[in-house]
A and B are shown apart, each in its own frame.
Chain A
C-alpha cells in the first residue's frame, strides 16, 4: 500500500500523519507499526484514522495499533480520547460488537495429559457451547431478568451458580461497569439478546485449547504471576462478545445519532458510521448507559462459557474443576468506550477513551488492577489466527503514550471472500488435524475465511508493541484444539 505523502517516521515503529493531511483534522494521527506492517495496511486505515482525528473534542493524537485494518467508522485498532465536556461519543468508535473481548483460563494439565483426550474435549465443548448463525444458549431467563443481568454483570453469574467470586476479581472492571441502565435499551435489543447468553457467535469468534511450551515463555517471572509455571501447560482462550444484544444497541443508537447529529448539534462527519453526539448530551448519555449494559452482557456471556468449559473438562477428566486448576487468568474487552484518568498535556484529566479492536493495558501500580497483578501490570490477551498462535502480554508504565492501550489480535490482510476462494474449509480442517490442531466448526465456509494466511503475522504485531513499550511479551501459546463459530 502506498503510504500518505505527508507521513513521518518518528521512530522505527511509530509513524505520524500531520493535521495538514486532511481538512478538518484537529490532531495528528499516530500509527504503531513496523515498516512491513504499515506497508501491508490497507488504504482504508489511513482514511479512517484521519477521520477520527477530525472528531470534536479529541484530546490527543488518534492512535492506530499495529494490527490495524480497514473497518467502518474507526479502523479496527483505532484509539481516541475525548474531553467529556466538549467531546463526543460514537458507536463507530466502539464497534457493533460492544465488549468483544478475550478470556484466558489456565489449567494444571500438561499437553501430554490433554492430547489423548483432545477429540473428546473439543467435541463436548462444541456441543455445549453453541456457535454459529442465530444460536441460543442454555440459560433460560425472562426478558425482565435479562434486564437485571445486563445491569448487574458477572456477579449475576456467581449468584446463579455459573462462577465463583475469584472469577469476578479476575475480570476487567470486576465484570460490571457501573451506570448500566437497561431502561436506555430498546425492546428489540432485549428480544435479540435475552436467549443468547453462553453462545460464541460467528466470524472470528472461537474457543481454543492451547499449550504454553517452555520455549515460548518470554518472561518466566511474569508468567508465574499469571499462573503459567508448568512446562507445556494447557490453557483455554476464548474470543466473543455481547452477541445480538450489543449489535442491536449499537444499531439503535447509530440511527438516533444520525437523526440528531447535524440538525441538533451541528456536527458533520465524513463517514456516517462515525455518527456521534456530544458526550454530555441526552443522546450521548443514553447511549453510554445502554452501551454499558452491552459491556456487562459480554462479561456474563464469557463467564457462562467458562462455566461450560469447567463442566466439560470435569466430565472428560472425571475430576473436580478445582482439581484441574481451572482458574481464570484474566478477561479483557477490546471494543469499548470508558471514562478513565490519563495524563493529557502534563495534567491528569478524565477522558472518554474509545478503543475499537484495541486492548486496555494498564502498567504496574494501576489501582484498576486486581491485587494479584498490581505489581506485574495487566494481563493482555492477544488472539491470533487458529493456525498460528496467540499471546499473553503484560501492560507497562510506558504504555501511557497510547492511553495504556495495545493491540488486540493479529489483524486481517485478506478479505473473507478471497480466503473462501483460495481455501476449502473441510480440507483446512483435515490439514490442521494432521498438524495437531483438532477443529470443530459451525460452518466450513466460515472456517475457510479464518485461514491463517488471511491474517498478519502475530509475531510481527506483538514485537511492535514490545519495541514501543506499550506492552511486553510474557507467553506465546500454540493451539491443539479449537471450536469455531
Chain B
C-alpha cells in the first residue's frame, strides 16, 4: 500500500500520507487511500463502471484535491466506490488539466465491507510535496 494513515492528526477525522514515484502514481495512491477509508478491502471493488474525471486547477496540488473531491461526490451522487486507474495531466500556461480514468461499482453493503463515510477532503495540512523518492501528499478527510 503506497499510503499510511496518521494516528495523531485531527482525531475525530482521518488523516493519511500517500506516496508515488511519479505524479501519476501519487494520484492513484491518494485515490485508493480515500476509498479505503470507506471500504475495508479495495480488491473487492469490481470494474463494472468506468468514468473520466475531468478538472482543471491553478496548481498540481489543487488538481489532486479536486480529483479527490470528485471521488467523494460520486459516492453520494451515484453511490459509486471508485479507484483511479490512470491519469493524464497537462499544464497549459497557468492551468493544470486532469483526465483521470476511474473504475468501480455501486456500493453493496453485503459485498463491500463498509467502514466510515468520507464527508469531504479538507484543506487542513493538505500538501503535495516533491521528495527525494518522488511525491508525497498529506490529506485530512472529514468523517
A binds B: yes
Please encode chain B, from 53 to 81, with 1 for each CB lying within 8 Å of some chain A CB and 0 for all others: 00000100000001001001101110111
Taking CB atoms, residues of chain B closer than 8 Å to A192 are 73, 76-77
List which A248-277 residues lie within 8 A (CB) of chain B. 248, 250-251, 254-255, 258-259, 271-273, 275
Instruction: Decide if the interface of chain A is mainly helix, strand, loop or mixed.
Output: mixed
Taking CB atoms, residues of chain B closer than 8 Å to A201 are 117
List which B38-54 residues lie within 8 A (CB) of chain A. 38-40
List which B84-143 residues lie within 8 A (CB) of chain A. 107, 109, 113-117, 119-126, 140, 142-143
Taking CB atoms, residues of chain B closer than 8 Å to A181 are none
Task: Tell me how far the C-beta of B111 lies from the nearest C-beta in chain A, rounded to whole angstroms.
Answer: 13
Contact B142 A72 (CB under 8 A): yes
Q: How many residues of B contact A (CB 8 A)?
A: 42
How many residue pairs at the A-B interface have CB separations less than 8 Å?
Answer: 136
Chain B, residue nearest A272 (CB): B123
Taking CB atoms, residues of chain B closer than 8 Å to A188 are 73, 77
Task: Tell me how far the C-beta of B139 lies from the nearest C-beta in chain A, rounded to whole angstroms.
Answer: 11
**A96→B10 CA distance, assembly (Å):** 14
Among B1-9, B17-25, B26-34, the stretch that binds chain A is B1-9
List which A187-236 residues lie within 8 A (CB) of chain B. 188, 191-193, 196, 201-204
**A76→B59 CA distance, assembly (Å):** 30
Task: Tell me how far the C-beta of B48 lies from the nearest C-beta in chain A, rounded to whole angstroms.
Answer: 15
Complex partner residue of B114 from A44, A73, A132, A196, CB under 8 angstroms: A132
Please encode chain A, from 122 to 161, with 1 for each CB lying within 8 Å of some chain B CB and 0 for all others: 0000000000111110000000000000000000000000
Contact A134 B107 (CB under 8 A): yes
Task: Tell me how far the C-beta of B2 lies from the nearest C-beta in chain A, rounded to whole angstroms.
Answer: 18
Complex partner residue of B40 from A250, A251, A416, A445, CB under 8 angstroms: A445
Contact B123 A275 (CB under 8 A): yes
Chain A, residue nearest B38 (CB): A133
Contact A247 B142 (CB under 8 A): yes
Known: A71-B13, A445-B40. 6 other contacts (CB 8 A): A42-B8, A191-B73, A244-B73, A244-B119, A416-B11, A417-B6
A-B contact pairs, 23 of them (CB 8 A): A44-B10, A69-B12, A71-B124, A72-B13, A72-B122, A72-B140, A76-B12, A96-B122, A97-B119, A132-B109, A132-B117, A133-B38, A134-B79, A191-B77, A202-B116, A415-B11, A416-B116, A417-B6, A417-B14, A442-B109, A443-B116, A445-B113, A446-B114
Interface, chain B (partner A; CB < 8 A): 5-14, 38-40, 58, 66, 69, 72-73, 75-77, 79-81, 107, 109, 113-117, 119-126, 140, 142-143
Interface, chain A (partner B; CB < 8 A): 42, 44, 69-73, 76, 92, 95-97, 132-136, 188, 191-193, 196, 201-204, 243-244, 247-248, 250-251, 254-255, 258-259, 271-273, 275, 412-418, 442-443, 445-446, 449, 485
